Amino acid sequence: MKLHRIFLVSCISLSMIMFSAIFHPRSGYADSSSFDMNTFQSQMHSDFILPSVLVTHPGPMFYFKNSKELKLSEQQLNKIKKITHKIIPKTQKQLKQIERLKGKYLDLMKSSNPNYHASRKLLQSIGKLEAIATADHLEAHLACYKVLTSEQKKTLSTLLAKH
């Protein structure tokens, strides 16, 4: 199970990093002046519970990167762009919450006598937020998939098999 998760995280991380060069957010994002897609994606991979379904249903960056092979129309690209503009600010807020709670947990555990119940409550909160953030992200991935035609879905399967 651990090897499976490491493999999935590695594959998704590499894919997201490769695709990040294509996408540069401009406006409409929380704290867009300091937004860095590589940092954002790296943090996602450390804070999200990444289900294996994300391997078969990639996110917007994959579609942008492979738009020519998939023969995406301008209308499809615009729909995927809208999905991206919706999920990134939401994810940024979720990641901030998760990191804040992780900081509280680590501070609590540094004490000489950490409280078990308080640490357990923080861990449960972190897990719940990670699961919600992952599910929200999965929703965006599946929304991108729905933009494709049947023929494009076949092409996507072929592209994913190569990665």
Reported as a single tens digit per residue, the pLDDT across 12-24 is 433 333 333 333 3
Per-residue confidence band for 2, with pLDDT thresholds at 50, 70 and 90: very low
Q: What is the pLDDT of residue 27?
A: 35
The total number of structural domains in the chain stands at 1
Tell me, yes or no, whether 30 lies in a domain. Answer: no
Give the structural domain span for 139: 57-161
For residue 37, tell me if it sits in a domain: no
> Would 102 be classed as within a structural domain?
yes
56-102: per-residue pLDDT in tens?
788 898 999 999 999 999 999 999 999 999 998 998 999 999 999 99
In a domain, 112, yes or no: yes
Residue 67 domain flag: yes
Are 64 and 24 in contact by the 8 Å Cβ rule? The answer is no
Residue 146 CB-density burial (10 A; 0-12 exposed, 13-18 middle, 19+ buried):
exposed
